[in-house]
């Protein structure tokens, strides 16, 4: 049972505590100090930020509980299948990729996670903050959570700055000093948090545009170096063009791209490659 996704850990409790602290400071301290809870602007911001915080918690819970994708025990690569132009092989020996710990073959883009103690389909990385791997089945949910978290952090930072500025001349009110201190502390915490989340979001947007995982990016750097050393050019085989790459991760319905549901294409075992695209198809 070790490594099973869904267990509540200290990092998960830390994230939930941070969300609760930011929500309390923003809604009950910053907004009242700036806009007031009795005004239309104050109520509107409370409702909007509450909805955004609820979306963060919901997508975070989904990323924790959703299985990233299991390799079927009966999976065996068919090297004679003409519909599968690419079969990933080991670096040494050139054999088909086989997991000795799980005792089965690895589909393309699958990797073994030492923490979860099993192979994960289209594994991107293991995230300690969700106590789960980010893989084929929950990558979009993880991405949407990070997007909502970035928006919520920036939104809260604006409200907290406004609350801190407008609470300065109100030091004659009882308890205003402690409220102002809490607002300032929350702002100090939010600045590096928002920056880190924004960088994380930008990194995964870059990966999606090129249809890569974090593991494939680092493997691609080495492959590119080896190709250049041999006088060849390296091309990531799963890069289908920006639009097709977005569809493969976010789903075919553009109106559902920001919905916290896993609507990616494929079963995680067979992936379209650039070799599947006819030569007459114009590049995107």
Read off the DSSP letter of residue 168.
Answer: G
Residue 172 has pLDDT above 70, yes or no: no
Q: Is the dihedral of CA 91, 95, 96, 101 positive or negative?
A: negative
Residue 13 has pLDDT above 80, yes or no: yes
Residue 282 has pLDDT above 80, yes or no: no
| Interatomic CA distance for residues 201 and 35, integer angstroms | 30
Closest CA to 180 of 1, 25, 10: 25
Closest CA to 136 of 17, 263, 227: 263
Residues forming a β-bridge with 126:
133
| Interatomic CA distance for residues 238 and 218, integer angstroms | 15
| Interatomic CA distance for residues 31 and 46, integer angstroms | 8
Residue 264 has pLDDT above 70, yes or no: no
Report yes or no: 140 and 191 within 8 Å, Cβ to Cβ. Answer: no
Token digits of residue 258? 């920001």
Residue 161 has pLDDT above 70, yes or no: yes
Residue 109 has pLDDT above 60, yes or no: yes
Catalytic site residue from 99, 102, 113, 127: 127
Residue 64, number of CB atoms within 10 A of its CB: 23
pLDDT band at 62 (very low <50, low <70, confident <90, very high): very high
Average of per-residue pLDDT values in the chain: 85
**Is residue 127 annotated as part of the catalytic site, yes or no?**
yes
Give the mean pLDDT of 128-150.
95
Q: Is the dihedral of CA 242, 248, 249, 255 positive or negative?
A: positive
pLDDT band at 5 (very low <50, low <70, confident <90, very high): low
| Interatomic CA distance for residues 183 and 170, integer angstroms | 14
pLDDT band at 255 (very low <50, low <70, confident <90, very high): confident
Strands 125-127 and 111-113: unpaired
pLDDT digits (tens, 9 = 90+) for 83-103: 555 555 555 544 688 898 998
Using a pLDDT cut of 90, give the percent of the chain over it.
Answer: 55
Which pLDDT score is estimated for 91?
A: 54
Which pLDDT score is estimated for 228?
A: 72
pLDDT digits (tens, 9 = 90+) for 203-243: 999 999 999 999 999 988 877 777 777 777 778 889 999 99
Which pLDDT score is estimated for 283?
A: 43
pLDDT digits (tens, 9 = 90+) for 177-199: 678 889 999 999 999 999 999 99
| Interatomic CA distance for residues 27 and 36, integer angstroms | 10
């Amino acid at each position: 049972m070790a490594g099973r996704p869904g267990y509540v850990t200290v990092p998960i409790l830390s994230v939930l505590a941070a969300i609760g602290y930011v929500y309390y400071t923003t809604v009950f301290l910053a907004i009242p100090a700036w806009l007031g809870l009795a005004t239309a602007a104050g109520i509107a911001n409370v409702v909007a930020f509450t909805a955004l915080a609820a979306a963060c918690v919901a997508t975070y819970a989904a990323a924790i509980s959703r299985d990233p994708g299991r390799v079927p025990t009966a999976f065996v690569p068919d090297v004679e299948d003409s519909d599968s132009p690419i079969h990933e092989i080991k670096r040494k020996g050139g054999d088909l990729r086989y997991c000795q710990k799980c005792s089965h073959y690895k589909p393309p883009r699958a990797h073994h996670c030492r923490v979860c103690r099993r192979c994960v389909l289209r594994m991107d990385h293991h995230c300690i903050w969700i106590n789960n791997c980010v893989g084929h089945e929950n990558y979009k949910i993880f991405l949407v959570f990070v997007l909502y978290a970035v928006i919520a952090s920036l939104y809260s930072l604006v409200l907290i700055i406004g609350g801190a500025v407008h609470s300065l001349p109100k030091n004659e009110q009882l308890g205003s000093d402690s409220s102002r201190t809490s607002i300032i502390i929350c702002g100090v915490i939010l600045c590096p948090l928002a920056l880190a989340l924004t960088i994380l979001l930008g990194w995964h947007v870059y990966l999606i545009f090129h249809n890569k995982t974090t593991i494939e990016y680092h493997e691609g750097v080495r492959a590119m170096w080896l190709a250049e050393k041999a006088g060849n050019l390296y091309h990531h085989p799963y890069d289908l063009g920006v639009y097709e790459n977005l569809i493969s991760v976010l789903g075919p319905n553009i109106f559902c791209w920001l919905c916290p549901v896993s609507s990616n294409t494929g079963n995680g075992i067979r992936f379209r490659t650039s070799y599947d695209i006819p030569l007459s198809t114009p590049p995107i």
